[in-house]
Amino acid sequence: MSARKIIHVDMDCYYAAIEMRDRPHLKGRPIAVGGNPNGRGVIATANYEARKFGVRSAMTSSVALRLCPQLEFIFPDFKKYKKASQQIRKIFLDYTPLVEPLSLDEAFLDVTHCNQCGGIATEIAREIRLRIFQETQLTCSAG
């Protein structure tokens, strides 16, 4: 019996990446997707610019704002994030029906019986990353 070939795909700063894709003026600026910094909001995700200041997921918005005073908050649009996730899932299904989603932005794919890319898991992962970028303008880690 041959070893199983499993690929883990994790989208980069998923909610923030979608917002930057859809609002190009946000690129290069520290942003966080989450709740109101004047209330009891929590950060769902932050882009890499915000992370340089120590802003992290699950952090209260008020703490994030103290760490990064220029942080721009974006209220989450889960309908938009779900739509992008469905688009990404369709790409996965071109390689395998065995997809185990962990969340909107993360999944395991069993590519043991996938014949694309000569059945080589690292090449399949590379191709999936490329297709996700070409079709959604979003980046991910896969391996």
* Catalytic site positions: 106
Query: How far is 113 from 19, CA to CA, in rounded Å?
Result: 35
Both tokens of residue 133?
Answer: 């970028």
Both tokens of residue 23?
Answer: 């609002």
Run of H or E residues at 8: strand 6-11
Query: How far is 58 from 44, CA to CA, in rounded Å?
Result: 6
Both tokens of residue 116?
Answer: 């694309």
Q: Which of 126, 113, 97, 105 is nearest to 5 (CA)?
A: 113
